[in-house]
């Protein structure tokens, strides 16, 4: 896997006809009872989810928050290897950023995964060790889908634009290796449309289409750049079978397939 990330992602999207990102937010408190006695319950859970969903998954997106423990990191490593075994790239939703030698350390996370999300607040040098990994994807948080996203991101600058548009412009500037994407929530469809016009070539990761109730049509219409981009659902897929006991994974597979169908209505080349 030495080709550029977005090239590999584009090939996978075409092959399985899907822009679905499956969020592996394996909350230990929501894993089915019968798996909780396992050595690594999150890994046991993720393995079954991957078996049931990989045909519809353009990528897997584990959120690092759910793996911040000794057992969690072991589960995450197993999960990444298993996803790769199914030929599915892994985007670690880490939202990291720090400075100097510390952010170089964070960038080592890219040794194991194919792409990562990062936070722009600390500026270019905080992201440089990620950006220089030309074969990996780097998704910069731009306009997030939560209510408080407006607190900073929507502030109007003296230049007239909101902060998040400046972040998009900076990300475009930092995109020397063609490996930069943006995270833009589906809960703000007009902002998605405006950003797509501003940076026509940058693929978006669009979260918020599942449990958060975002706009699937806008996500597809504006999230993709030349057909490449990702629309994520986490809980809406992996916990779709929460009340089904041992057959939870089948419901997750069905939910992933349904989301693919729903999104493909809006894909011009789908």
Nearer to a second copy, 6 or 174 (CB): 174
Distance CA 122, CA 100 (A): 11
95 is catalytic: yes
- The residue from 86, 152, 246, 265 that contacts a second copy (CB under 8 A) is 152
**Phi/psi at 265 (5° precision):** -55, -35
x/- track of binding to a second copy for residues 186-225 (CB under 8 A): --------------------------x-------------
Q: Does 18 bind a second copy (CB under 8 A)?
A: no
Q: Count of residues binding a second copy (CB under 8 A)?
A: 58
Distance CA 205, CA 140 (A): 9
CA dihedral 224, 229, 234, 237 (to 10 degrees): 80
95, 136, 197, 257: which is the annotated catalytic residue? Answer: 95
x/- track of binding to a second copy for residues 224-253 (CB under 8 A): -----------x------------------
Q: Does 169 bind a second copy (CB under 8 A)?
A: no
- The residue from 21, 25, 60, 223 that contacts a second copy (CB under 8 A) is 25
- The residue from 11, 86, 102, 244 that contacts a second copy (CB under 8 A) is 102
SS3 204: strand
Distances (CA, A) of 182 to 70, 88, 137, 206, 224: 30, 20, 10, 8, 11
- The residue from 51, 170, 177, 254 that contacts a second copy (CB under 8 A) is 170
CB 210 within 8 A of CB 240: no
- The residue from 100, 178, 200, 245 that contacts a second copy (CB under 8 A) is 100
Burial class (CB in 10 A: 0-12, 13-18, 19+), 70: exposed
Residue 2 CB coordination number (10 Å): 6
Token pair listed for 220:
């597809």
**Of the ranges 90-98, 188-196, 242-250, 252-260, which one interacts with a second copy (CB under 8 A)?**
90-98
Q: Does 98 bind a second copy (CB under 8 A)?
A: yes
Q: Does 74 bind a second copy (CB under 8 A)?
A: yes
**Gap between the terminal Cα atoms of the chain:** 25
**Phi/psi at 156 (5° precision):** -85, 130
Nearer to a second copy, 101 or 268 (CB): 101
What is the total residue count of the chain? Answer: 270
* Residues engaged in binding a second copy (CB under 8 A): 25, 27, 63, 65-66, 68-74, 77, 93, 95-103, 105-106, 109, 119-127, 141, 144-153, 155-160, 163, 166-167, 170, 212, 235
State the catalytic residues.
95
């Amino acid at each position: 896997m030495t080709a550029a990330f977005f090239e590999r992602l584009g090939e996978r999207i075409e092959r399985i006809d899907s822009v679905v990102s499956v969020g592996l937010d394996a909350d230990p408190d929501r894993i089915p009872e019968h798996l909780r006695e396992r050595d690594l319950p999150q890994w046991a859970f993720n393995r079954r989810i991957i078996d049931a969903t990989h045909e519809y998954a353009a990528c897997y997106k584990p959120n690092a928050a759910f793996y911040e423990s000794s057992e969690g990191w072991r589960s995450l490593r197993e999960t990444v290897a298993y996803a790769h075994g199914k030929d599915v790239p892994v985007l670690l939703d880490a939202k990291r950023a720090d400075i100097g030698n510390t952010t170089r350390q964070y960038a080592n996370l890219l040794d194991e995964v194919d792409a990562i999300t990062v936070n722009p607040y600390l500026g270019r040098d905080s992201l440089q060790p990620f950006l220089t990994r030309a074969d990996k994807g780097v998704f910069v948080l731009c306009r997030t889908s939560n209510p408080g996203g407006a607190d900073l991101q929507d502030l109007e600058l003296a230049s007239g634009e909101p902060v998040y548009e400046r972040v998009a412009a900076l990300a475009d500037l930092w995109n020397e290796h063609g490996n930069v994407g943006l995270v833009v929530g589906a809960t703000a469809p007009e902002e998605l449309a405006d950003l797509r016009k501003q940076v026509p070539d940058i693929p978006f990761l669009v979260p918020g289409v599942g449990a958060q109730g975002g706009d699937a049509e806008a996500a597809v219409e504006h999230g993709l750049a030349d057909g490449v981009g990702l629309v994520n659902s986490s809980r809406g897929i992996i916990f779709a079978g929460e009340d089904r006991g041992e057959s939870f994974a089948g419901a997750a597979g069905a939910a992933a397939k349904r989301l693919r169908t729903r999104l493909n209505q809006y894909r011009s080349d789908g």
